[in-house]
């Protein structure tokens, strides 16, 4: 499992075909294969690349971590690179050469680093599941008619969230879409996975749209007209 | 975007209501992230190469972050 992402397909790895691999990507896959004589050296080179990617990601997100020391940030990047290397080796058989090997490998480091930073930045914070920040839904329309229309729409959405969703769907929708709780953080707190939570969010949105449509509201117009 | 246009950043209501069309799951998004980003950076039709990716990125802030990070890393060289 990679940083809370789990497969829903259950079909196992797709057999890789090396026919379309560029030379560099083919060399990476060959040298990282179990039993390859140069595997240790290749793993060291790959770890260095993954560490670079992880540091890049941690640096991009450093603001979310406040005044933390550079050493702590680098420790996070190192942990992310370590975990990413294991994930890459575990998933090597599923690499099909649809992208360059390094691009494929980088995403593991970026994901591991991003999840670690998000979780660290929320470590001492309460995760708000209720009391949605409705004021974050603002309206850009100017006329009094549009103001009234937007107010009616927002009221309908609030009602639909209360009435049409289960308690779990409501908590997930409110936390992620209104209170800006990162899905990885919420998954960790609720003891589930990012994929499972997104499925819940997807189902909640579908019910919300259906409730709005049943009330005569144009969901497409809502998306285009009122946004924060 | 395949047509070169800059997508409008999703607003709060967009996030609440989610994308209208079919979308990938988070797992499928991660599996195809590298392909979509490489197509995008090469100016090829990324959305045709990975159907459902764009809609998922509009609906999932975490995956959109991951996508932006990979694009930024590759662009940085």
* Complex prediction ipTM: 0.88
Average pLDDT over residues A45-58: 97
Q: Within a 10 A sphere around the Cβ of A62, how many other Cβ atoms?
A: 15
Confidence of residue A151 (pLDDT cuts 50, 70, 90): confident
- Chain A residue nearest residue B59, CA to CA: A202
Contacts of B22 (CB under 8 A, 6+ apart): B51, B52, B55
Q: Within a 10 A sphere around the Cβ of B7, how many other Cβ atoms?
A: 9
Contact B70 A107 (CB under 8 A): yes
pLDDT at A72: 85
pLDDT at A84 over 50: yes
pTM of the shown model: 0.84
- Chain B residue nearest residue A98, CA to CA: B35
For residue A157, count CB atoms less than 10 angstroms from its CB and return exposed for 0-12, middle for 13-18, buried for 19 or more. buried
Contact A8 B35 (CB under 8 A): no
A63-96 per-residue burial string, b: 16 or more CB within 10 A, e: under 16: eebeeeeeeebeebbbebbbbbbebbbeebeebb
Q: Which residue has the higher pLDDT, A29 or A158?
A: A29
pLDDT at B30: 97
**How far off is chain A from B25, nearest CA to CA, in Å?**
7
pLDDT at A68: 66
What are the tokens at A60?
């991009």
Confidence of residue A2 (pLDDT cuts 50, 70, 90): low
Name which of B11, B13, B66 is nearest A110 (Cβ-Cβ). Answer: B66
Confidence of residue A39 (pLDDT cuts 50, 70, 90): very high
Q: Does B1 touch chain A (CB under 8 A)?
A: no
Confidence of residue A5 (pLDDT cuts 50, 70, 90): low
**How far off is chain A from B16, nearest CA to CA, in Å?**
5
């Amino acid at each position: 499992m990679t940083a809370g992402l789990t497969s829903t397909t259950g079909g196992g790895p797709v057999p890789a075909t090396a026919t379309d691999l560029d030379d560099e990507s083919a060399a990476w896959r060959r040298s990282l294969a179990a039993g390859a004589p140069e595997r240790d050296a290749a793993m060291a080179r790959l770890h260095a690349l993954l560490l670079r990617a992880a540091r890049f990601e941690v640096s991009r997100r450093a603001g979310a971590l406040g005044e933390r020391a550079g050493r702590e940030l680098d420790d996070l990047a190192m942990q992310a690179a370590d975990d990413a290397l294991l994930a890459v080796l575990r998933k090597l058989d599923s690499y099909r050469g649809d992208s360059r090997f390094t691009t494929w490998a980088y995403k593991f480091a970026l994901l591991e680093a991003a999840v670690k930073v998000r979780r660290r930045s929320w470590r001492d914070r309460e995760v708000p599941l209720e009391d949605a920040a409705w004021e974050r839904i603002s309206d850009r329309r100017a006329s009094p008619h549009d103001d009234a229309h937007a107010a009616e729409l927002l009221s309908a959405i609030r009602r639909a969230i209360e009435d049409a969703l289960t308690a779990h769907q409501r908590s997930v929708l409110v936390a992620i879409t209104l209170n800006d709780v990162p899905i990885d953080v919420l998954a960790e707190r609720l003891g589930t996975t990012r994929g499972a939570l997104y499925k819940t969010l997807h189902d909640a949105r579908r019910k919300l749209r259906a409730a709005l449509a049943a009330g005569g509201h144009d969901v497409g117009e809502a998306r285009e007209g009122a946004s924060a | 975007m395949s047509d070169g246009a800059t997508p409008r950043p999703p607003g709060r209501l967009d996030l609440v209501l989610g994308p209208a069309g079919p979308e990938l799951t988070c797992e499928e998004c991660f599996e195809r992230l590298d392909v979509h980003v490489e197509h995008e950076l090469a100016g090829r039709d990324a959305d045709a190469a990975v159907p459902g990716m764009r809609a998922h990125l509009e609906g999932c802030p975490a995956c959109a972050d991951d996508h932006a990070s990979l694009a930024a890393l590759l662009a940085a060289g």
